[in-house]
Amino acid sequence: MLPMALQLAHRKFSYKRKLVLLQKGTEPDKRLYLIHDGTGRIEGYFPFCPGVDNRFNIYGIAPDEAVDGLPRNLTIEQLAAEYTEWIRLQGAGPYYLAGWSIGGTLALEMALLLERQGEEVRLCCMFDTPQPGYYPKDSQPLFSAAGEYSLFSPFMNDTMLSSRLQAEEDLEAWYSHLLQSPDGVDWARFYSFMDEDWPFPLNRLGTLTPVERLYLLNQNRTLHLARLQYVPARSAGFPVHLIKALTDPIDGLESWALHCPRLAVYEVAASHYELFGAETGAQLAGILNTILEKESPYDPIVR
């Protein structure tokens, strides 16, 4: 069980359902699944959904309790397997999958799993998704109590708490100690430090408590670590569509072709974090609609 402080944060920031209906379509059997971004959220898709082909019921996929509260050593394969179970319970394929940033990575792995299971994947779309190897694996070690102490210790102002945390070897117990004495950390300095290298604007979430920010940070760290370890185990036999942001572009995105031989690349004049703004979201929806209009019977590459 999560420490009480993280349970409270979980209730504030998690969704009641893992699959959230974002927009109802006119055809019950057409379902487009949008997988969460690196923060574990799906709100970024809101400006985008109204412009998507109205035949589709659009669902957002958000992580469950395994990915929140504490930092977890999970893999893309584990998450994709779980999400695939969720969508198969919704109904049979063909399947339409898309995701922004790490959501695209998860969409690809889900599609690969469905392909291995003999299912039909009509759409696999990645919105500005960093390719395997873009982030060096050694940029974040596996989570451990010792590693968390190393991260937090420069910002502790309570010697008793620091000694207790240094001696603790269990990660969940480590966080229980920390959150029983939250005043033992200088949270302003901690989040200022994290904000220098972490893309999520933790110090600008002024309405959140330090523990609520920690909840979001650890979810983000969990997902990022999963992405660092990921390389597809096989090539995709289905077409993969990659929509690339042109402002401050991610170098080497086209190397997804090593894993996706039928890769099609589209370009949008926006930055990674502006892709789903009001104007660009409508443009993305137009690109996706063009792709969906060309949907054809499944034609896998045989290997």
Q: What pLDDT score was predicted for residue 65?
A: 64
φ, ψ at 91 (rounded to 5°): 150, 170
- Tell me how far apart the alpha carbons of residues 15 and 89 are, in angstroms, rounded to a whole number: 18
**Whether 191 contacts 203, CB under 8 Å:** yes
Name the nearest CA neighbour of 73 among 229, 233, 198: 229
Q: What pLDDT score was predicted for residue 136?
A: 82
What are the sequence ranges of the domains in the chain? 4-134+233-293, 137-228
- Tell me how far apart the alpha carbons of residues 276 and 283 are, in angstroms, rounded to a whole number: 9
- Tell me how far apart the alpha carbons of residues 112 and 106 are, in angstroms, rounded to a whole number: 10
Question: Tell me: domain 4-134+233-293, CATH 3.40.50.410, correct?
Answer: no
Q: What pLDDT score was predicted for residue 223?
A: 92
For 15-53, how does the pLDDT look when each residue is reduced to its tens digit (9 = 90+)?
A: 555 889 999 999 999 999 999 998 888 988 998 999 999
DSSP 8-state secondary structure symbol assigned to residue 232: -
Q: What pLDDT score was predicted for residue 303?
A: 28
- Tell me how far apart the alpha carbons of residues 253 and 205 are, in angstroms, rounded to a whole number: 31
φ, ψ at 133 (rounded to 5°): 90, -10
User: Which position has the token pair 């209009």?
Assistant: 293
Cβ-proximal residues to 10 (8 Å cutoff; 6+ apart), any chain: 2, 65, 68, 69, 215
Give burial (CB, 10 Å; 0-12/13-18/19+) of 240: buried
Q: What is the chain's pLDDT, residue by residue, as a tens digit (303 residues)?
A: 455 555 555 555 555 558 899 999 999 999 999 999 988 889 889 989 999 999 999 999 998 766 667 899 999 999 999 999 999 998 888 999 999 999 999 999 999 999 999 999 999 999 999 999 998 877 678 999 999 999 999 999 999 999 999 999 999 999 999 989 999 999 989 988 887 766 555 545 557 788 888 888 898 899 999 999 999 999 999 999 999 999 999 999 999 999 999 999 999 999 998 999 888 888 999 999 999 987 644 443 332
Q: For the sheet containing 95-100, what is the strand order?
A: 19-23, 57-61, 31-35, 95-100, 121-127, 240-245, 263-268
- Helix, strand, coil percent values for the chain (each to nearest 5): 45, 15, 40
**Whether 243 contacts 284, CB under 8 Å:** yes
**Whether 274 contacts 249, CB under 8 Å:** no
Cβ-proximal residues to 263 (8 Å cutoff; 6+ apart), any chain: 239, 240, 241, 242, 254, 256, 257
**Whether 232 contacts 205, CB under 8 Å:** no
**Whether 237 contacts 303, CB under 8 Å:** yes
Three-class SS of residue 263? strand
Beta carbons within 10 angstroms of residue 11's beta carbon: 9
For 60-97, how does the pLDDT look when each residue is reduced to its tens digit (9 = 90+)?
A: 999 876 666 789 999 999 999 999 999 999 888 899 99
Q: What pLDDT score was predicted for residue 297?
A: 42
**Whether 25 contacts 56, CB under 8 Å:** yes
